[in-house]
Amino acid sequence: MSYLAKNYNRKKISFIRGKGSYLYTSNQIKYLDFVQGIAVNSLGHANPKLVKAIRDQSKKLWHVSNAFQIPEGEKLAKKLCQKTFADYVMFQNSGAEATEAAIKVARRYFYSIGKPNKNRILCIKNSFHGRTIAAIYASGSKKMTEGFGPKIPGFDHINFRDTKPRFLNLKNKIKKNTAAIMVETILGEGGIKLIPDKCLKYLRKICNQKKILLILDEVQCGIGRSGNFFAFEQSKVKPDIVPIAKGIGGGFPIGAVLMNKKVAAGMTPGTHGSTFGGNPLAMAVGNSVIDIVSSKKFLDNVKKLSKYFFIKLNGLKEKYPNIIKEIRGRGLLIGIKLYKDQTKFIQKLMDNKLLTIRAAENVVRVLPPLNVKKNELDQALKIINKVCSEF
Ligand SMILES: *Cc1c(COP(=O)(O)O)cnc(C)c1O
Give 127-152 pLDDT, tens digit per residue.
999 999 999 999 999 999 999 999 99
Task: Identify whether residues 343 and 354 lie together within a single domain.
Answer: yes
CATH classification at residue 194: 3.40.640.10
Count of the separate structural domains present in the chain: 2
Task: Identify whether residues 145 and 252 lie together within a single domain.
Answer: yes
Task: Identify whether residues 183 and 303 lie together within a single domain.
Answer: no
CA distance 305 to 325: 22
Ligand 1 contact via 129 beta carbon (within 6 Å)? yes
Question: pLDDT at position 349, please?
Answer: 98
Q: What distance in angstroms lies between residue 238's CA and the mean position of ligand 1's atoms?
A: 21
Q: What distance in angstroms lies between residue 36's CA and the mean position of ligand 1's atoms?
A: 14
Ligand 1 contact via 94 beta carbon (within 6 Å)? yes
CATH classification at residue 364: 3.90.1150.10
Is residue 7 a part of any domain in this protein? no
Question: pLDDT at position 380, please?
Answer: 98
Range of the domain at 264: 49-293
Alpha helices by DSSP H, 255-295: 261-264, 280-293
Question: pLDDT at position 13, please?
Answer: 95
Question: pLDDT at position 93, please?
Answer: 98
**Contacts from 267-276 at CB under 8 Å and sequence distance 24+?**
267/88, 267/90, 267/105, 267/108, 268/112, 271/104, 271/108, 272/90, 272/101, 272/104, 272/105, 273/66, 274/66, 274/90, 274/91, 274/92, 274/93, 274/97, 275/65, 275/66, 276/63, 276/93
Which atom number of ligand 1 is nearest to the Cα of residue 246? 7
CA distance 370 to 297: 12
Q: What distance in angstroms lies between residue 333's CA and the mean position of ligand 1's atoms?
A: 14
Question: pLDDT at position 182, please?
Answer: 98
Is residue 3 a part of any domain in this protein? no
Residues catalogued as catalytic: 128, 217, 246
Is residue 5 a part of any domain in this protein? no
Question: pLDDT at position 41, please?
Answer: 98
Q: Is 385 left (phi over 0), alpha (psi -120 to 50) or beta?
A: alpha
Q: Decide which of 239, 271, 293 is a domain's last residue.
A: 293
Q: What distance in angstroms lies between residue 161's CA and the mean position of ligand 1's atoms?
A: 22
Task: Identify whether residues 269 and 221 lie together within a single domain.
Answer: yes
Task: Identify whether residues 53 and 71 lie together within a single domain.
Answer: yes
Q: What's this model's pTM, rounded to 2 decimal places?
A: 0.98
Task: Identify whether residues 152 and 279 lie together within a single domain.
Answer: yes
Ligand 1 contact via 219 beta carbon (within 6 Å)? yes
pLDDT in tens, 296-305: 999 999 999 9
Which atom number of ligand 1 is nearest to the Cα of residue 187? 13
Write phi, then psi, for 17 (nearest 5 degrees): -160, 150
Question: pLDDT at position 360, please?
Answer: 96
Beta strand pairing status for 88-92 and 255-259?
antiparallel
Which atom number of ligand 1 is nearest to the Cα of residue 188? 15
Task: Identify whether residues 249 and 366 lie together within a single domain.
Answer: no
Task: Identify whether residues 54 and 39 lie together within a single domain.
Answer: no
Which atom number of ligand 1 is nearest to the Cα of residue 218? 13
Is residue 320 a part of any domain in this protein? yes
Task: Identify whether residues 263 and 379 lie together within a single domain.
Answer: no
CA distance 108 to 119: 8
Is residue 84 a part of any domain in this protein? yes
Question: pLDDT at position 382, please?
Answer: 98
Among 128, 192, 357, say which to mutate for ligand 1: greatest number of ligand atoms within 8 Å of CB: 128
E strand intervals along 233-281: 241-244, 255-259
CA distance 254 to 89: 12
Please count the other Cβ atoms lying within 10 Å of the Cβ belonging to residue 133: 16
Q: Work out whether the CA dihedral 327, 328, 331, 334 comes out positive or negative.
A: negative
Q: Decide which of 293, 313, 337 is a domain's last residue.
A: 293
Give strand pairing partners of 158: 124
CA distance 327 to 360: 14
Task: Identify whether residues 127 and 203 lie together within a single domain.
Answer: yes
Task: Identify whether residues 251 and 374 lie together within a single domain.
Answer: no
Question: pLDDT at position 94, please?
Answer: 98
Q: What distance in angstroms lies between residue 254's CA and the mean position of ligand 1's atoms?
A: 11
Task: Identify whether residues 289 and 339 lie together within a single domain.
Answer: no
Ligand 1 contact via 305 beta carbon (within 6 Å)? no
Those residues of the chain that have pLDDT short of 50 are none
Among 36, 220, 242, say which to mutate for ligand 1: greatest number of ligand atoms within 8 Å of CB: 220
Q: What distance in angstroms lies between residue 129's CA and the mean position of ligand 1's atoms?
A: 5
Ligand 1 contact via 188 beta carbon (within 6 Å)? yes
Question: pLDDT at position 351, please?
Answer: 98
Q: Decide which of 293, 323, 352 is a domain's last residue.
A: 293
Report whether 372 contacts 21 (CB < 8 A).
yes
Nearest CA to ligand 1 atom 5: 95
